[in-house]
A = this chain, B = another copy of it.
Amino acid sequence: MKIVVDLLGSDRGAETIFRGVVETSKLLKDLSFVVVGPKSVIEKIEIDEDLEGRLEIIDTEEYILNTEEPTFAVRRKKDSSIVLAMKYLDKENADGLISFGSTGAVLVSGLLIVKRMENVERAALTITLPTNKDKMILLDIGANIECTSDILKQFAIMGNIYAKETLNKENPKIALLNIGSEDGKGTKILKETYSILENENINFVGNIESRDIFDGNIDVLVCDGFHGNILLKTIEGSVKFIMSNMKKSLMSSLSAKIGALLIKSPMRKLKKSLDYKEYGACPMLGLKKVVFKGHGSSDEKAVVSGIISMCDYINKDINSKIEKQIEKGEN
Chain A residues near B (Cβ < 8 Å): 131-132, 142, 145-146, 177, 179, 186-188, 209-214, 225-227, 229-231, 233-242, 244-246, 249-250, 252-253, 255-256, 258-263, 265-267, 269-270, 273-274
Please determine whether A255 and B249 come into contact, CB atoms closer than 8 angstroms.
no
Q: How far is the CA of A263 from the CA of B261 in the complex (A)?
A: 10
CB-CB under 8 A from A262, the residues of chain B are 255-256, 258-259, 262
Please determine whether A242 and B274 come into contact, CB atoms closer than 8 angstroms.
yes
Indicate how many identical chains form the complex. 2
* New contact pairs (5) apart from A179-B230, A242-B242, CB-CB < 8 Å: A132-B244, A210-B237, A212-B237, A230-B231, A253-B265
**Chain B residue, CB-CB nearest to A209:** B233
Please determine whether B226 and A179 come into contact, CB atoms closer than 8 angstroms.
yes
Q: How far is the CA of A12 from the CA of B191 in the complex (A)?
A: 33
CB-CB under 8 A from A213, the residues of chain B are 234, 237
Q: Beyond A263-B263, A267-B249, is A230–B210 a contact (Cβ under 8 Å)?
A: yes
CB-CB under 8 A from A227, the residues of chain B are 226-227, 230
Please determine whether A249 and B274 come into contact, CB atoms closer than 8 angstroms.
no
CB-CB under 8 A from A234, the residues of chain B are 210-211, 213, 230-231, 234-235, 238
Q: Beyond A145-B186, A262-B255, A269-B249, is A238–B240 a contact (Cβ under 8 Å)?
A: no
Q: How far is the CA of A256 from the CA of B245 in the complex (A)?
A: 19
CB-CB under 8 A from A231, the residues of chain B are 230, 234
Q: How far is the CA of A252 from the CA of B266 in the complex (A)?
A: 7
Instruction: Looking at the assembled complex, report how far the CB atom of A9 sits from the nearest CB atom of chain B, in whole angstroms.
Output: 18
Instruction: Looking at the assembled complex, report how far the CB atom of A92 sits from the nearest CB atom of chain B, in whole angstroms.
Output: 34
7 closest Cβ pairs, A-B complex? A259-B262, A238-B238, A259-B263, A214-B241, A211-B233, A234-B234, A249-B266
**Chain B residue, CB-CB nearest to A231:** B234
6 sample A-B contacts, Cβ–Cβ < 8 Å, listed by A number: A132-B245, A145-B179, A145-B186, A145-B187, A238-B239, A258-B259
**Chain B residue, CB-CB nearest to A145:** B187
